[in-house]
Amino acid sequence: MVEVNLWSGLRALADGRESVEVEADTVGGVLRELVRAYPALQEPIDAGVSVSVNGRIIASDLTARVESDSEVFLLQRLRGG
């Protein structure tokens, strides 16, 4: 299982949880399993999120590997101007 830390506004979409565990071995798998467990996360994930794995931002590599001991953070992309 991979523990995913949810940043700020994403927590409300996951029943207020600060972190959740999913069974996945890639960034794409993490996102897919998050949506399966918490469908309300679909919209912000579709709008664009940043995933940090062990301190490295993964922008678009959905095949990037994650391990059960990886430090994973999911952050909403900020908008504004």
Per-residue pLDDT, averaged over 49-76, amounts to 91
Q: How many domains does the chain have?
A: 1
Edge-to-edge, what's the strand order for the sheet holding 72-76? Answer: 19-22, 2-6, 72-76, 49-53, 56-58
Question: Per-residue pLDDT tens for 9-60?
Answer: 899 999 999 999 999 999 999 999 999 999 999 999 999 899 999 999 886 7
Q: Is residue 71 part of a domain?
A: yes
Q: What is the DSSP string of 10-23?
A: GGGGGTT-SEEEE-
Q: Is residue 81 part of a domain?
A: no
Does the structure show a pLDDT above 70 at 80?
Answer: no
The parent domain of residue 13 ranges over 2-76
Q: Is residue 61 part of a domain?
A: yes
Per-residue pLDDT, averaged over 60-78, amounts to 90
Domain of 17, CATH number, reads 3.10.20.30
pTM of the prediction? 0.90
